Amino acid sequence: MTRLTDALDAWLPTALDRAKEIKPEPRVEHVGTVLTVGDGIATVAGLPDLRSEELLRFGNGVLGMALMLDVDRVGCVLFGDDAGIAAGDRVHGTGAVVSVPVGDALLGRIVDPVGRPLDAGPPVAAERFDPVERDAPAIVDRDLVAEPLQTGLMVLDSMFTIGRGQRELIIGDRSTGKTTIAVDTIINQRASDVISVYVSIGQKSSATRQVVEAVRRHGAFERCIFVIAQADSAPGLQWIAPFTGMTIAEYFRDRGADVLIVIDDLTKHAAVHREIALLLREPPGREAYPGDIFYLHARLLERAAKLGAKRGGGSITALPIAETQAGNLTAYIPTNLISITDGQIVLDAKLFYEGQKPAVDVGRSVSRVGGKAQPAALRTVSASLRLDYAQFLELEVFTRFGAMVDDRTRRVIERGRRIRSILQQGPSAPWPLAFEVALLLGIASGALDTVPLETMDGFKAELRPWLAARLPVVIERINGGAKLADDDRTALVTAVTALAAKLAPAAPAGESP
């Protein structure tokens, strides 16, 4: 007992001195009460000073975001499981809007929409935290879209060129190759300085894994960022996923970099927004979507732009994806997105099942930037390609009914079939610019007219090493963006003609190929 008393006597003066050093300060906490919870949605009361999109912290540590502010209650979406939340629980307002980590440490990482790693790696070392909702660049801060973003896909680069800073919608029925086009575009940036951001919204884990592995095997994975909100993720995470991806892209854009963002897909994002709105009892509109669905996607995609030199000259090129039902482009969400974006790549299920891949419908697809951003060498040789192909498709319809055609029409049809053949391309194998130019020169010069259709795949496979071995300087110059000089044109036509003659069978004189 004596020892205990001595210890207390020795400790008490020290404790009193420490207590005197403590300076109590008032701290304001915004505390509310959960009224209802379920389906990833919670209704909260007692937070009159809450801001829109403010971050909330529930008693079990789950975070949420205030989405609907009413007079006496707040509707919020949860960023985690609601199993540990019940009516009557306390909820704290943080005073901060929802923000995500940004910085170079995100390159080569797979994260969820709030920046938590999904790749078994360490936590992201963020340079700073930026809000997911930011204003789009003003008109005076923007510049003309005049620099190409090469997709490596012949059908797009030659007829529907995408420029850096453009918003090009990829739209079509389910399983027609929409994601494949976007992923091939990401893979093709391995030869450029473009940083790629892929946003997955409500996709199956297996589909997302295939995308990641394709980029890991064929692309520059170290310059890619993956923001994943899987189908079983909380609705709140799926809702903020595209905004998170855009915020991450803006960090690099503001430093003068060019960024490509793929949003896969906005149809599922619209469905999540409708689900949240209905659970929060917002009045439904057309197809039960709330009235702000157009504004939701417009304010998101408007953030993709090419900045002027005073703002660093960076750009964000957006490739949003949308799904149609039975090819119906007049549905509510497709028409909204078509009116927001700068063009659309329409994929046709009939073409896909006929083996035409990418299954791009050239009649309904359009790029509102087009030739203004097309590389000079490609623009020279593809000026009439779309018109020639359209004429072929129209003439081919008549031949299906057994109509008699003259020699001139037959030559047009045979050349059109070869155009269709060079537009076919396998996945994860984008083509360099010089190879596309060489193929188009082969069509324009008639060099490919002697190559049988059944050997066109073999011809394309052999052409790349053939050109690399014979014209390395020309190939490098064209891939670098130089104009197509007359000598380069002659050299390419000669090389293509020589390979065509090597592969083509000997035909009797006067017989058409």
Q: Which residues are catalytic?
A: 368
Residue with the two structure tokens 């009235």:
291
Beta bridge partners of 167: 318
**Upstream peptide bond of 265 is cis (omega within 30 degrees of 0):** yes
Q: Which residues contact residue 75 at a Cβ distance below 8 angstroms, ignoring those fewer than 6 apart?
A: 41, 42, 43, 44, 66, 67, 68, 69, 280
Pairing verdict, β 90-97 and 99-102: unpaired
How far is it, in rounded angstroms, from Cα 86 to Cα 36?
A: 7
Place of tokens 């960022």: 225
- Helix/strand/coil percent split, the chain, to 5: 45, 20, 35
Helix or strand holding residue 75 (H, E) = strand 74-78
Do 57 and 71 contact (CB within 8 A), yes or no?
Answer: no
Query: Do the bridges between strand 195-201 and strand 54-58 make them parallel or antiparallel, or are there none, so unpaired?
Result: unpaired
Give the integer Cα–Cα distance in Å for 93 and 57. Answer: 7
DSSP H helical ranges for 310-423: 332-340, 349-353, 376-381, 385-399, 407-423
Q: What angle do CA 18, 24, 28 make, to 5 degrees?
A: 150
3-state SS, 406-471, equals CHHHHHHHHHHHHHHHHHCCCCCCCCCHHHHHHHHHHHHHCHHHHCCHHHHHHHHHHHHHHHHHHC
d(CA 165, CA 257): 11
How far is residue 497's CA from residue 57's CA, in Å, rounded to a whole number? 69
Query: Hey, is 385 helix, strand or coil?
Result: helix
The total of other beta-carbon atoms located within 10 Å of residue 481's CB is 14
Q: For CA atoms 50, 51, 52, 56, give the dihedral sign.
A: negative
For β-strands 74-78 and 63-69, DSSP reports them as: antiparallel
